[in-house]
Structure 1
Amino acid sequence: MKLSEEIKELLFEGTVIPAHPLALDANRQLDEFHQRLLTRYYAASGAGGIAVGVHTTQFEIRDPEINLYEKVLSLAVSEVESIGLDRPFIKVAGVSGSTEQAVNEAKIARKLGYDIVLVSINGLKDWSEEDLLDRARQIGEHMPLFGFYLQTSVGGKVLTENFWKEFAEIPNVYAIKIAPFNRYQSIEVVRAVCNSSRCNDIAIYTGNDDNILNDLLTTYRINTERGIVDKDIVGGLLGHWAVWTEKAVKLLNHVKKVKLSGGQMNRDLLTKNIEVTDSNAAFFDTKNNFKGCIAGIHEVLRRQGLLKGIWCLDPNETLSVGQAEEIDRVYKDYPELNDDAFVKDHLEEWSQKIKASTLSVN
């Protein structure tokens, strides 16, 4: 399976792809209404796609006793179809686990109509790089690939520059999400892609929630055997962009205009980067080594009325002490970053459309 031309064009142009959270009720059961509401919010915000079944969706959806992977992926596709967008919209499915599991998940994603799979190595720290490459090649026989350098604090592992060069040579790789939260390792991935034979065939996306704006503003200038190669990080696939998404879309559009103008970068954008990073620190609970990162995203969405609560599949996964106050602080310090007014203006409209579409199906 290859990527369609319109989806490929959007992917390479660069867009906002939120990592889709999981909506649960007080009994920690799937809340289908709010799951659909989130999908509708992202589409209405102008996002260019969604990533479902990823870390923000909670890896536990794959556990046999929970068994929500296919259901959650299906709901997202169903809601996108119900919305009836008149523009391309990239549907990314996260695949995880052993080669057999990841291939099976890729087959599910293909059956449901997803465009590309994000290849996570969560839980595979003990695998060799060659085994991980072989796994990726097998997944790529079934779906286009979106590589993923996952930070070690949430289940990833350090990978060599040679790994990424070999990964880039896999024919069905179309994009790589850089998310090690480490500048040195991020540079290595870009350099590896630029030194591969498929440099122009791969879009680079940031997953570095701690450095979003700087990643998007930077043109990497890499010295290769073919000469100097310029490579941009064109968009983001981010847990941070699961909240305040409408403003994230505006921010990316502004960055694109700045880069196209060819002029000097406004120093205010560097200050804005720090503001976004500080907000992310509150959402992701960096003071406690990311313990409350998913609950923090849920808390913002709860405040906006997009979720009923902050429940996670793991009862121990909740806000850390002081995290709610940190979220209060960034709301106060950076009011221009939130999209609360946008959500408030449209929440009832989105809710009514979901109810109407659900009734018509039933």
Structure 2
Amino acid sequence: MDVDAKLRSGVVIPAHPLALDANGAVDLPAQRALTRYYLAAGADGIAVGVHTTQFELHHDRGLLAEVWRLAAQEAAAADGERVLVAGVTGDIREAVAEAELARDLGYHAVLLCPWGMAEVSESALLERARAVGDVLPTIGFYLQESVGGRHLGRKYWRALFDLPSVVAVKTAPFDRYRTGDVVQTLLEHDRWADVAVLTGNDDAIVHDLLTPYRREVGGRQREVRATGGLLGQWAVGTRAAVSLLARVREAAAMGVASFDLLAEASALVEVNAAVFDVANGFAGCVPGVNEVLRQQGLIATARCLGPDVLTPGQAELIARVRRRYPGLLDEEFVAAHAAQWLE
């Protein structure tokens, strides 16, 4: 697969959750069902071992391999070519070992997650990116600070884009200024047309996909926009996300964004506020994703490997947005096919 071209063409990549049973063990039928859902919904790929898969999964290399393998097997059995992205964590030795494992299981790229590093300085992140890039193409990651990220300056992004192994960047600081830092730095870089921008700002999905960033460099106009997304929010409502990206691309080609798209943007933010538990500083964001899928009958529990739990009232808030925005959460689609995916 030409992963560079695929990512630049426009992609919907859900950040794959982890399904646990009532005893806290991985629920293998439900885990397969989730992957089948994303593939049936038309996702262009899946990202496994990332934040919504629960970073704690990386404590058990054998379990991580099993979860990665399940997703790869389902993707191989489906029609069409899908991008398989592995979330890689830890310091250089751990991250390289995980990247090698992902490569051997058929993954096409890695998302460089800062979790599990002893030092999360810019220099340490760059050193790790160089080492992992010798194994697989890499996707840079600007993770919001409330869930373990850190502020990264333009000097860092210039150095990251210097690495030929970097094929994309996921902008997820939940901050328009910092998102602008990444894209403006890319516009100035010689590789501006080679690195795909993927939105990870679950609170600004439509705006990121619609917004062109422009700059004149060397007397010529350059333009960069997010070509797609790698998102926890797209772990639910995936079919709706595929439709959304198609409509955004059509609007971009015509040079006109409709008020309907902007209205959908505000509705999606309301859904995300419930799922990601914005009222409590994102404390329930991972179990919130799982709770949507639990209420829809795809997984048995909203349990997590770590201490994350739903906050008081979050399940009820999620139920309300499901009733209010069924189209954004694939309610009819999931209800019609859940039993089949769970077989």
TM over 0.5, shorter chain: yes
SS of match in other structure, 1:199: coil
Measured in 2, the distance between the counterparts of 1:292 and 1:50 equals 22
Report the alpha carbon displacement of residue 260 of structure 1 after superposing the two structures with TM.
1.1
1:267 aligns with 2:259: yes
Q: Which residue of 2 aligns with 1:333?
A: 324
1:8 aligns with 2:1: no
Structure 1: gaps of 5 or more residues: 353-362
Aligned 1:191-206 pairs, distance under 5 A: 191-206=184-199
Give the TM-score normalised by the residue count of structure 2.
Answer: 0.96
Report the alpha carbon displacement of residue 126 of structure 1 after superposing the two structures with TM.
4.1
SS of match in other structure, 2:168: strand
Report the alpha carbon displacement of residue 258 of structure 1 after superposing the two structures with TM.
1.0
Aligned 1:67-146 pairs, distance under 5 A: 67-83=62-78, 85=79, 87-124=80-117, 126-146=119-139
Q: Which residue of 2 aligns with 1:41?
A: 37
The RMSD of aligned alpha carbons is 1.5
CA spacing shift, 1:333–1:148, aligned 2, 3 Å: same
Q: Which of 276, 280, 301 is equivalent to 1:284? A: 276
Q: Which of 276, 289, 293 is equivalent to 1:301? A: 293
Residue deviations 1:238-272 (CA, integer Å, cap 9, x gap): 0000001111111111111111123x311222221
SS of match in other structure, 1:272: helix
SS of match in other structure, 1:274: helix
Q: Which residue of 1 aligns with 2:314?
A: 323
The answer (yes or no) to whether the contact 2:32–2:341 under 8 Å persists in 1 is no
Measured in 1, the distance between the counterparts of 2:115 and 2:182 equals 18
SS of match in other structure, 1:265: coil
Q: Which residue of 2 aligns with 1:357?
A: none
CA spacing shift, 1:220–1:125, aligned 2, 3 Å: farther
Which of the pair has the greater relative contact order for Cα pairs under 8 Å at 6+ separation? 2
1:24 aligns with 2:15: no
Aligned 1:151-300 pairs, distance under 5 A: 151-225=144-218, 227-262=220-255, 264-300=256-292
Measured in 1, the distance between the counterparts of 2:83 and 2:225 equals 20
Report the alpha carbon displacement of residue 124 of structure 1 after superposing the two structures with TM.
3.9
The answer (yes or no) to whether the contact 1:61–1:67 under 8 Å persists in 2 is no
Measured in 2, the distance between the counterparts of 1:68 and 1:194 equals 40
Give the TM-score normalised by the residue count of structure 1.
Answer: 0.91
CA spacing shift, 1:129–1:80, aligned 2, 3 Å: same
Question: Structure 1 stretch 327-336 or stretch 20-29: which is displaced more?
Answer: 327-336
Structure 2: gaps of 5 or more residues: none
SS of match in other structure, 1:68: helix
Measured in 1, the distance between the counterparts of 2:177 and 2:117 equals 22
Q: Identity of aligned pairs, percent?
A: 46
The answer (yes or no) to whether the contact 1:279–1:330 under 8 Å persists in 2 is yes
Measured in 2, the distance between the counterparts of 1:127 and 1:226 equals 38
The answer (yes or no) to whether the contact 2:161–2:191 under 8 Å persists in 1 is yes
Report the alpha carbon displacement of residue 82 of structure 1 after superposing the two structures with TM.
2.8
Report the alpha carbon displacement of residue 345 of structure 1 after superposing the two structures with TM.
1.5
